[in-house]
Structure 1
Amino acid sequence: MSATEPSLFEPYRLGAMTLANRIVMAPLTRNRAAEGFVPGPLAVDYYTQRAGAGLIITEASQISQQGQGYQDTPGIYTDAQVEGWKKVTDAVHAKGGHMVIQLWHVGRVSHTMLQPGGGAPVAPSAIRAQTKTYVNDGFAETSEPRALERAEIAGIVADYARAAANAIRAGFDGVELHGANGYLIDQFLRDGANQRTDDYGGSIENRSRFLLEAMDAVIAEIGAERTGLRLSPVSPANGLADSNPQALFNHVMEELEKRHPLYVHVVEGATGGPRDVAPDFSFAALRARFTGPWMVNNGYDLELATRVIAAGEADLVAFGKPFIANPDLVERLRRGAPLNEMDRDTLYGGGAKGYVDYPLLADAAA
């Protein structure tokens, strides 16, 4: 690598933060929140162990009870949740790390057991998600959603802004709106889920409206320099599809370029699956429309991450599953050391096992 090529392991200036490296811990749902959907002491340990990442993006955290889609996921809408997260951010900052919280509304990917008053989940249109959610310690089919009334949408946009303000109170360095993986923002964007006939449906401009209103509300609350966004333009996650994703996400990027967010975080391909799920889709065309910090995710290993950073094709690389089993992932990658195997049986729910007990390199050496 020449002296002029950027390195995965060199510091990177992101907004007001100087990240120790360009390796990001991607958001990872672990279903271990305590009563009241508050992150507990184990979450403090879990994130502090991983503070060697240049940036940590938390597990997705719902902006309201209505926004919840899985059992035991943390929120950021009550004072108790803010206090729980404050313990996490204080501990991560004490280790020299940086941290943003992912703001989540699942939309139709939910179950009546999780909704206020046992009501139906909400969505752009009353189209059921062909996927499962996690309730009662197991996977179950999602419930039939109801279409949001137009008058309700502004309240959800306001929930994003309130959650962002709570995040700053909790000590986060910023937020990431979850616009990916088939959840509410993604449902509004894609015509496979959005069949509205008002000004939030139909044209690409209309389907982008909810995302851009949520971004604008959060930016007005905490500033563009603390507001990131995650998108998954071609992922079929949670049963989503669009008839023309290139045109849709080209437009989204052109609109984001006007707003100067902290970063755009793009899932390339199918979330947690093949990268070549849409071979005709051009991620380069998206990058060409957005001049801000560009974060990539999905199936990255050391070789691929090193190459895209050196080539200037991305500024940051987010690693997901490798961080579950390797709290010291950055050091392992730096040394070319072997990675721990992930225990799939402990991914969702439970306690310390498979959460905070994966060995560090130092432990393995001893």
Structure 2
Amino acid sequence: MEVTPDLLTPYKMGKFDLAHRVVLAPLTRCRSYENMAQPHNTLYYEQRAAPGVFLIAEASAVSETATGYPHVPGLWSQEQVEAWKPVVDAVHAKGALFFCQLWHTGRKKSHTADFGAPPKLETEEIPQMVMDFRVAARNGIKAGFDGSEFFPASASGPLYQGQPAQRQHGSSLDNRCSRLATDVIAAVVDEVGAHRVGVRLSPFAGYTDCSEADAEAHALHLVHFMDKLGVLYCHMVERRKCVNGNTGKLAIPHRLSPFRKVFKGTFIVNGGYDREEGEKVVRDGYADLVSYGRLFLANPDLPERFRKKVDLNKYDRSTFYTSDPVVGYTDYPFLSHETQVA
């Protein structure tokens, strides 16, 4: 008799055996001083690691010009590779799976930090940017990561709406919107193998000037491309919660079904999920895995809390992007500690 999967049942993702379907989403925390992984980063990820847990690290910049935010890690130099190694080793020592995320902030640069407006991307700059991602993916493997997740929402932004790169790339969807992203995906797959590559897409995030319809078409085009290459997983972010007309309550729109139908590999969803909603989408086949950001940030033992159906720690939004190595970062209590205190 076939058992219906739920959020806490095991799952095989390619060659990787996962203990359950709960994933740590990549979360920029701005605590990697001078773009280098730090000892407190090691503790943060080690706290959230356990046998068979899938963790995705915060985005690492692929070049010095790709950072866009203060104190984000990088993977463009050997020094950064060496800094990441203790973090990766600590996660692996706990029996967890660990992917790095690679990005170029592009048009999604910080509005609060003094980084200035990102320049338009010229066509002749594209090969170097693609090479930067290739090298960073290679460096991720050198650091010990099990694979890399490419986040093209920002990197591909300059190729939307008739900017200089469009003159040579043409006006078709393939050329106008997706060329940089597909070039990067192909390069990273060629460098480390499709079995080590995931891609995260945010078609509803509004990072670029293009319309939501164009963004969805662009994302669907990329998912088709990823599927043909045999990319390990597709990680997609839901549209923001909206008011349900029947209940009057905030609800997840569930707009990712068209992408799920196209992609044959592991499909991961993200965006406002709690335990009950995560259970439902896995049970219904809408997703294979569910990634959690703010809940996992505030609950280092989130899968265990889900299993026991106990209360969760509340996250402190004011500490999300501060640079303190402890407060709002490694000081959230574990369930076992709370039990001992009680």
TM-score relative to the length of structure 1 = 0.84
2:335 match: 361
In the alignment, residue 291 of structure 1 is paired with which amino acid? K
After TM superposition, give the deviation of residue 275 of structure 1 in Å. 9.0
For residues 15-59 of structure 1, give each alpha carbon's deviation from its aligned partner in whole angstroms, at most 9, with x where no partner exists: 221112111100111101123x11110000000000137211111
The gaps in structure 1 that reach 5 residues or longer are 111-131
CA distance in 2, matches of 1:151, 1:303: 48
Counterpart for residue 41 of structure 2: 43
Corresponding letter in the other structure for 1:200? H
Which position in structure 1 is the counterpart of 2:12? 13
Identity of aligned residues (%): 39
Paired AA for residue 225 in structure 2: E
Q: In the superposition, relative to structure 1, how do residues 337 and 201 fare at CA in structure 2: closer, same or farther (>3 Å)? A: farther
Q: Distance in 1 between matches of 2:280 and 2:157?
A: 29
Q: Is the contact between residue 122 and residue 164 of structure 2 (CA under 8 Å) also seen in structure 1? A: no
Task: Decide which of 228, 236, 261 is 2:231's aligned counterpart.
Answer: 261
How many angstroms apart in 1 are the aligned matches of 2:158 and 2:119? Answer: 13
Paired with 2:181 and 2:207, the residues of 1 have a C-alpha distance of: 18
Deviations 1:193-239 (A, max 9, x none): 85743243532111111111000100110000001000011222476
In the alignment, is residue 69 of structure 1 matched against residue 68 of structure 2? Answer: yes
- Structure 2 CA distance, aligned partners of 1:29 and 1:156? 21
Could you report, residue by residue, the CA deviation over 1:68-87 in whole angstroms, capped at 9, with x for unpaired residues? Answer: 11000000111121111110
| Comparing 10-19 and 58-67, the one that deviates more | 10-19
For 2:209 and 2:331, the matched residues in 1 are separated by 34
Quick one: which of 134, 137, 145 aligns to 1:172?
A: 145
1:288 corresponds to: 261
Decide whether aligned partners of structure 1 residues 345 and 242 sit closer, same or farther in structure 2, where only a CA change above 3 A counts.
closer
Note if contact 2:123-2:164 (Cα within 8 Å) is conserved in structure 1.
no
Look up the match of 2:155: 184
The one-letter amino acid paired with 1:60 is A
Is it true that 1:213 corresponds to 2:213 in the alignment?
A: no
Q: Which is helix-richer, 1 or 2?
A: 2
Gaps of 5+ in 2: 245-249
Give the alignment of 1:204-243 within 5 angstroms: 204-206=173-175, 207-237=177-207, 241-243=211-213
The 5 A counterparts of 1:96-245 are 96-110=95-109, 132-135=110-113, 143-180=116-153, 183-188=154-159, 190-191=160-161, 196-200=165-169, 202-206=171-175, 207-237=177-207, 241-245=211-215
- The 8 Å contact of residues 234 and 241 in structure 1, kept in 2 or not, is answered as no
Q: State the one-letter code of the partner of 1:302.
A: R
Q: Give the Cα–Cα distance (whole angstroms) in 2 for the partners of residues 187 and 336 of structure 1.
A: 44
**Distance (whole Å) between structure 1 residues aligned to residue 262 and residue 85 of structure 2:** 36
Checking the alignment, whether the CA contact within 8 Å between 2:242 and 2:253 is kept in structure 1 is no
Taking structure 2 as the reference length, the TM-score comes to 0.90
The alignment's C-alpha RMSD in Å is 2.4
Answer yes or no: is the 8 Å Cα contact 2:123–2:165 preserved in 1. Answer: no
